[in-house]
Amino acid sequence: MIKALKGVIHLKSSAMKQAVSELSVPVPWGEIRGKVWGPDHGRPVLCIHGWADNCGTFNTLIPLLPKECRYVAVDLTGHGRSSHRPPGVFYSFPAYVADVCRVVDALQWSKLSIIGHSMGGNVAGLFSALYPEMVEAVVLLDSYGFLPTDPKEIPTVMRQGMDGMLQFEKKTEEKKRVYTYEKAAERLLAVNPTLSERSARILLERGLVQVEGGFVYSRDFRINLKNIVRISLEQSLEMQSRIKASILVVLAEGGFEKIFAEHDQKKFISALLQAYRDRNHTVVKVPGDHHIHLNDPEVVAPLVSDFLRTKVLGRSDRQTDVQTSKL
């Protein structure tokens, strides 16, 4: 069955065990793809994946969350089955936020909640700060909503990003490496040790494209370049203060801070987390690694479910009670 609204294409597949649909939203350079779970008139929840992942990262978690919600998980531009940005264009958090705006506008959602993992949590935090009137609740999965950079380091990082783009453009004639499926899975697991083998195969469903001789990764290699748009801790805290939504931060004991964060960033992370607590938001830590929501969703699902039931489904005084999905 196909339904269309403002160019949104919504394809339902009866072959899937659960009621899951494929989403396509047209954008000036192509399309943003994604998946949809839940009833047509469920409370809107946008799910945003992390760097180099895709919307499959929510495949195991969403079935465990409240059935009254309408979950739309997107492949961010340059990831999964979504189109890549045009040649010469950088990837940055503000650009991803603009993409979220495009998706939300196409869905005709005036109110929504957001679940963001890792980089997706940073996109969720920035969107919630810039459009506070639209966001009812935010769940940050092993993410802090913002990732500050020392102002002294910003010029160096910006130059690295720009030099990286220029070098990339000189190599555009090079073809993507072709892998067997097994080698592609091995490579993903090697560079991302927080994924279980099952989780890696879930991400590869949208992360690979079959070509002559095997498979290539679908993501845009430019996402590997340094993000040239950075903000300081002071700017991050100012953005954070503008968020009106209720926030749940779920951190993994062996997650981002332990594996990825640099020494200076850990000081910034502590300041961000304290600011969440000072504003009466909820910060919890669970056993597991950076992809705990995908590897072992039963650890995360009760926390997220209780939060959504309390902050979203349990609030009958909000306009979102009559909010409906337009798909």
User: Which is more confidently placed, 211 or 266?
Assistant: 211
Distance CA 82, CA 78 (A): 6
Determine whether 273 is exposed, middle or buried from the number of CB atoms within 10 Å of its CB (0-12, 13-18, 19+). Answer: middle
Average pLDDT over residues 144-150: 95
Task: Name the token pair of 260.
Answer: 């990825």
- pLDDT of 16 over the 50 cut: no
Q: For residue 175, which of 145, 212, 129 has the smallest C-alpha distance?
A: 212
- pLDDT of 6 over the 80 cut: no
Mean pLDDT of the chain: 91
Task: Name the token pair of 280.
Answer: 């009466």
pLDDT one-digit tens code per residue, 293-302: 999 999 999 9
- pLDDT of 13 over the 60 cut: no
Contact in structure between 121 and 143 (CB atoms under 8 Å) = yes
pLDDT one-digit tens code per residue, 161-201: 999 999 999 886 557 899 999 999 999 999 999 999 999 99
- pLDDT tier, 39 (very low <50, low <70, confident <90, very high otherwise): very high
Rg (CA), the chain: 19
Average pLDDT over residues 79-105: 97
Residue of 118, 143, 199, 246 marked catalytic: 118
- pLDDT of 9 over the 80 cut: no
Average pLDDT over residues 238-267: 91
Task: Name the token pair of 223.
Answer: 């996402």
Distance CA 71, CA 45 (A): 5
Distance CA 110, CA 115 (A): 17
Q: For residue 289, which of 258, 268, 316, 266 has the smallest C-alpha distance?
A: 258
pLDDT one-digit tens code per residue, 218-252: 999 999 999 999 999 999 999 999 999 999 999 99
Tell me, what's the pLDDT at 264?
74
Tell me, what's the pLDDT at 8?
58
Is 82 known to be catalytic? no
Contact in structure between 123 and 100 (CB atoms under 8 Å) = yes
Query: Which ranges in the chain belong to alpha helices (H)?
Result: 93-107, 119-130, 154-169, 181-191, 197-207, 233-241, 256-259, 263-278, 292-295, 297-308
- pLDDT of 324 over the 90 cut: no
- pLDDT tier, 15 (very low <50, low <70, confident <90, very high otherwise): very low
Cα-Cα-Cα-Cα torsion 62, 74, 112, 229, nearest 10 degrees, comes to 130
Distance CA 17, CA 296 (A): 20
Contact in structure between 297 and 198 (CB atoms under 8 Å) = no
- pLDDT of 214 over the 80 cut: yes
- pLDDT tier, 325 (very low <50, low <70, confident <90, very high otherwise): very low
The partner residues of 210 in beta bridges, in order of sequence, read 215
Q: For residue 37, which of 88, 73, 90, 4 has the smallest C-alpha distance?
A: 73
- pLDDT of 323 over the 90 cut: no
Q: HSE, CB side, 13 Å, CA atoms: give it for residue 157.
A: 15
CATH architecture of 2-148+230-322: 3-Layer(aba) Sandwich (3.40)
**pTM, rounded to two decimals:** 0.91
Tell me, what's the pLDDT at 172?
62
